[in-house]
């Protein structure tokens, strides 16, 4: 996910959230069988509005292995709005195996759902940059397909706490 000015303007300590309460848990079955249970200091998270403004995108990168491999999960939560809770939100999911040339995607929002989403404001109120702790849980009903080949994985459950940063548009000169 490209870094915007909003993402680079906020200094971060090692880990996902400054208060140490970020996490990602997920159950993956199919071409790969994984039970993910990552905690704040071993992950990186990032998030903000989706590029088309249709919701929120939250990304989690797991521990970096010595050979450069790492698992990254990106949740595109449709219809989610800054600072507001939500239920039964359509979600697009991308699972990237960095260093392995493997990528799985649901290719649409009709295959995964965020059952419940909440957002808690972080840091000072007001200003052009606003940060939230985003907490969500959900599931997928259809598998994510590999972009190459015919492998598939099903993320039957997930829950996470990460962050999303929103910034006011800067006027163009």
Q: What are phi and psi of 56, to 5 degrees?
A: -120, 145
Residue-wise pLDDT tens digits, 86-138: 999 999 999 999 999 899 999 888 999 999 999 999 988 878 999 999 999 99
What gap in Å lies between CA 17 and CA 26, rounded to an integer?
19
In this structure, what token pair is assigned to residue 54?
């249709």
pLDDT level of residue 1 (50, 70, 90 thresholds): very low
Residue-wise pLDDT tens digits, 136-165: 999 999 999 999 889 999 999 999 999 999
What gap in Å lies between CA 30 and CA 163, rounded to an integer?
29
120 contacts: CB under 8 Å, gap ≥ 6: 132, 133, 135
Q: Where are the domains of the chain?
A: 5-167
Buried b (16+ CB within 10 A) or exposed e, 27-59: bbebbeeeebebebebbbbbbbbeeeebbbbbb
For residue 10, pLDDT over 80 is answered with no
pTM (2 d.p.): 0.88
What gap in Å lies between CA 42 and CA 40, rounded to an integer?
6
């Amino acid at each position: 996910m490209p870094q915007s000015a909003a993402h680079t303007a906020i200094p971060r300590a090692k880990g996902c959230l400054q208060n140490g309460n970020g996490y990602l848990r997920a159950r993956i079955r199919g071409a790969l069988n994984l039970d993910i249970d990552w905690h704040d200091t071993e992950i990186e998270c990032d998030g903000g509005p989706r590029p088309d403004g249709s919701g929120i995108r939250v990304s989690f990168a797991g521990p970096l292995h010595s050979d450069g491999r790492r698992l990254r999960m990106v949740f595109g939560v449709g219809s989610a709005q800054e600072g507001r809770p939500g239920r039964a939100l359509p979600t697009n999911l991308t699972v990237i195996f960095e260093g392995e040339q493997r990528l799985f995607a649901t290719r649409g929002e009709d295959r995964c759902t965020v059952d419940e989403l909440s957002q808690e404001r972080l840091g000072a109120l007001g200003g052009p940059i606003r940060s939230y702790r985003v907490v969500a849980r959900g599931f997928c009903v259809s598998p994510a397909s590999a972009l190459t080949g015919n492998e598939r994985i099903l993320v039957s459950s997930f829950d996470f706490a990460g962050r999303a940063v929103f910034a006011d548009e800067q006027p163009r000169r």
